[in-house]
Chains A and B, each alone.
Chain A
Amino acid sequence: MKLLATLSLLGAAFATTLAAPVALTDTGGSSLLVRNATVYTMTHDAAAALNGTDVLVQDGRVTAIGTALAAPAGTRVIEANGRALTPGIFGGLGHIGLEEIGLEQSTGDYAQRLGQMRPEFDVTLAFNPESMSLVVHRSNGITFSVLAPAAARGGSLVAGLGAPIGLDGSAPAPARAMFVDLGGDANDLSGGSRAAQFMLLRQALVEARAPNLVMVHHERLLSLSGRQVLLEFLKRNSLFVLQVDRAIDIRNALAFAREEKLNVAIRGGAEAWRVATALAAARVPVILDPLDNLPDSFDKVGATLTNAARLRAAGVTVAISINDTDVDDAGKTRQAAGNAVAHGMPKWDAIAAVTRVPAEIFGVADRFGSIERGRTADLVLWSGDPLEVSSLPDLVVTGGRVQTLESRHTALRDRHYERVKAGMAR
Chain B
Amino acid sequence: MIDLSSTHWPRALLAGVMVTLTACSTTATVAPPAARERSVIAPATPTPYPSTYKPAASVPTLIRGATVLIGNGERLDDVDVLMSNGKITAVGRTLEVPTGAVVIDGRGKWVTPGLIDVHSHLGVYPSPGVEAHSDGNEATSPSTPNVWAEHSIWPQDPGFEAALEGGITTLHVLPGSANLFGGRSVSVKNIHAVSYQSMKFPDAPHGLKMACGENPKRVYGNRRQLPSTRMGNVAGWRAQWIEAQEYMRDWRQYEARSAASAKDLRPPKRDLRLETLAGVLRGEILIQHHCYRADEMAIVIDMAREFGYRVSTFHHATEAYKISNLLAENNICAAVWADWWGFKMESYDAIPENMILVDAAPGGCTVVHSDSAEGIQRLNQEAAKGMAFGKRMGIDIKPEHAIRWLTANAAKAIGLEKRIGTLENGKMADVVVWNGNPFSVYALTERIYVDGALRFDRSAPRNLPESDFLLGQPAAAGVIR
Contact = CB atoms under 8 A, between A and B. Distances in A.
Interface of A: 10, 13-14, 21, 100-104, 110-111, 133, 150-153, 157, 181, 185-186, 188-189, 246-247, 271, 274, 291-298, 300-306, 324-328, 331-332, 335, 338-339, 341-342, 383, 387-392, 409-410, 412-413, 416-417, 419-421, 423-426
Interface stretch (B230-238, B434-442, B446-454): B434-442
B204 interface: no
A338 B444 CA distance: 12
Given A111-B2, A153-B3, A420-B324, A101 B342 contact: yes
Contacts of A331: 339
Nearest to A133: B342
Interface residues of B, number: 71
Given A151-B1, A293-B162, A302-B476, A102 B342 contact: yes
A387 B326 contact: no
Interface stretch (B93-101, B246-254, B343-351): B343-351
A390 B393 contact: no
Interface in B343-367: 343-345, 348-349, 351-353, 357, 360-361
Contacts of B128: 295-298, 300-301
7 contacts: A14-B394, A21-B392, A101-B345, A103-B343, A297-B128, A390-B441, A426-B294
Contacts of A133: 342
Contacts of A292: 374
Given A152-B3, A247-B475, A417-B393, A426 B326 contact: yes
Nearest to B129: A296
B442 A341 contact: yes
Interface in B65-113: none
A201 to B, nearest CB: 15
B475 A151 contact: no
A294 B360 contact: no
A327 B12 CA distance: 13
B481 A293 contact: yes
Given A389-B441, A419-B322, 14 more contacts: A100-B342, A104-B344, A152-B2, A189-B1, A296-B8, A328-B340, A328-B343, A338-B441, A341-B441, A341-B442, A342-B444, A413-B357, A416-B322, A420-B325
Contacts of A271: 475
Interface of B: 1-5, 7-8, 10-12, 127-130, 158-159, 162, 214, 294, 298, 321-326, 329, 339-345, 348-349, 351-353, 357, 360-361, 373-374, 377-378, 381, 384-385, 387-389, 391-394, 439-444, 469-470, 473, 475-477, 479-481
Contacts of A274: 475
A186 B1 contact: yes
A271 B323 CA distance: 45
B26 to A, nearest CB: 18
Contacts of A188: 1, 3
Contact of A426 (B323, B341, B377): B323
A301 B172 CA distance: 26
A132 B371 CA distance: 25
Q: 10 closest Cβ contacts across the A-B interface?
A: A338-B441, A102-B343, A301-B475, A302-B475, A425-B326, A103-B344, A389-B384, A152-B2, A150-B2, A409-B351
Given A111-B2, A338-B442, A417-B393, A101 B323 contact: no
Q: Which residue, of A104, A151, A186, A189, has the highest number of chain B Cβ atoms within 10 A? A: A104
Contact of B481 (A102, A305, A421): A305
Given A326-B343, A420-B360, A303 B393 contact: no
A297 B1 CA distance: 13
Most central of A13, A302, A303, A420 by chain B CB within 10 Å: A420
The winner among A150, A327, A328, A389 for most chain B CB atoms within 10 A is A389
Contacts of B326: 425-426
B321 A335 contact: no
A417 B339 contact: no
A117 to B, nearest CB: 14
Which of B298, B342, B351, B384 has the most C-beta atoms of chain A within 10 angstroms of its own C-beta?
B342
A103 B339 contact: no
Contact of A339 (B1, B329, B392, B441): B441
Contact of B345 (A21, A103, A246, A303): A103
Contact of A423 (B12, B325, B345, B348): B325
A327 B342 CA distance: 7
Contacts of B394: 13-14
Nearest to A394: B392
A146 to B, nearest CB: 16
B392 A388 contact: no
Given A294-B374, A331-B339, A391 B388 contact: yes
B384 A390 contact: yes
- By CB atoms of chain B within 10 A, which of A13, A14, A274, A335 has the most? A335
Contacts of B469: 295
A176 to B, nearest CB: 20
Given A103-B345, A412-B351, A291 B374 contact: yes
A409 B352 contact: yes
Nearest to A291: B374
A103 B12 contact: yes
Contact of A412 (B325, B349, B361, B374): B349
Contacts of B378: 291, 339
Contacts of B388: 383, 389-392
Contacts of B129: 296-297
Contacts of A296: 8, 127-129, 373
A213 B246 CA distance: 76
A304 B443 contact: no
Contacts of A153: 1-3, 5
B393 A413 contact: yes
Contacts of B353: 409, 413, 417
Nearest to B7: A297
B1 A301 contact: no
A101 B361 CA distance: 30
B8 A304 contact: no
A142 B127 CA distance: 31
Nearest to B348: A101
A306 B298 CA distance: 45
A423 B374 CA distance: 36
B159 A294 contact: yes
A101 B1 contact: no
A12 B128 CA distance: 51
A123 to B, nearest CB: 13
A416 B384 contact: no
B444 A304 contact: no
Given A296-B8, A412-B351, A305 B480 contact: yes
B351 A413 contact: yes
B52 to A, nearest CB: 27
A130 B89 CA distance: 58
A212 B214 CA distance: 52
Nearest to B349: A412
A19 B231 CA distance: 48
Given A10-B393, A302-B475, A390-B439, A328 B322 contact: no
B321 A420 contact: yes
Nearest to A340: B441
B212 to A, nearest CB: 15
Among B349, B377, B388, residue most surrounded by chain A Cβ atoms (within 10 Å): B388
Nearest to A423: B325
A419 B357 CA distance: 10
B476 A295 contact: yes
A94 B312 CA distance: 36
Contact of B342 (A111, A328, A339, A417): A328
B345 A104 contact: yes
Contacts of A409: 341, 351-353
A101 B440 contact: no
A241 B348 CA distance: 30
B125 to A, nearest CB: 10
Contacts of B391: 383, 390, 392
Given A14-B394, A296-B129, A328-B340, A424 B1 contact: no
